[in-house]
Structure 1
Amino acid sequence: MTFITGQQRTQMLAHGAARARGDAIDPYPVVKLYTLDAPACWLLTELDADGDRAYGLTDAGTGFPELGHVSLSALEGVRGPKGLRIVADPHFKARQPLSAYAADAQRDGSIND
């Protein structure tokens, strides 16, 4: 996947394995993806063993952010209204666990970070 670095992939796979074991985890987001030409955003924490199915906070820009799974390969094909691809924010540094981002986003109607 072109969205995440090797280090991020390793961290996300470890979080995914912990959740698959049934561990109660609330990790900090590892990567932030967003569209350059639309208000969509994804804060991802985990990656399934298949290397494609990621988990995190998704915001399609409709005012209803939610926790859930997304396919990274599917996101690679998504284009915004001006034809721009989804990109990873190279400067993103998570400041709180995913549950706090989710609470803020549900209160505000969007991911604001």
Structure 2
Amino acid sequence: MLPLIDSASRELLLANGNQQEEQDHRPVIKLFNPTGGQTWLISEMAADGDTLFGLADLGFGQPEMGYIRLSELLDVSATLPIGLERDLGFRANKTLSEYARDARIMGRIVA
């Protein structure tokens, strides 16, 4: 099984998270539950390596931006028959807030 966050993505996420000024980054990775309706677009990682920032869609029709713990995602992944996966083909074409705006309109992340 592939890691949820590869080393190249980790570097980009940390660089985004370490910027002094708040910016609206493009998501670096897309994680999803292949057996359910959950999706996460992650744009930043804090220096602790556990705190992520992104857009979460837990399948209830109300996606929202906020902080997510990588350790919690790994715990969720461990309870699933297949586990969470990283979308290897995902390439962000807009900023996180643009994805959030579209997700609020559609009731789910559309990537």
The TM-score range, normalised by the shorter chain, is over 0.9
Equivalent residue for 1:5? 6
TM-score by length of 2: 0.92
RMSD: 1.8
Q: Which residue of 2 aligns with 1:40?
A: 38
CA displacement 1:55-105 (0-9 Å, x = unmatched): 000000000000011111111121499622111001100010111000000
Q: Deviations over 1:22-41 (max 9, x none)?
A: x1311110000000000100
**Normalised by the size of structure 1, how large is the TM-score?**
0.91
Q: How many residues align?
A: 110
> What is the CA–CA distance in structure 2 between the aligned matches of 1:26 and 1:65, rounded to whole Å?
17
How far apart, in 1, do the equivalents of 2:27 and 2:105 lie? Answer: 18
Structure 1: gaps of 5 or more residues: none
Give distance in 1, aligned partners of 2:84 and 2:4: 8
Identity of aligned residues (%): 37
| Runs (5+) with no aligned partner, structure 2 | none
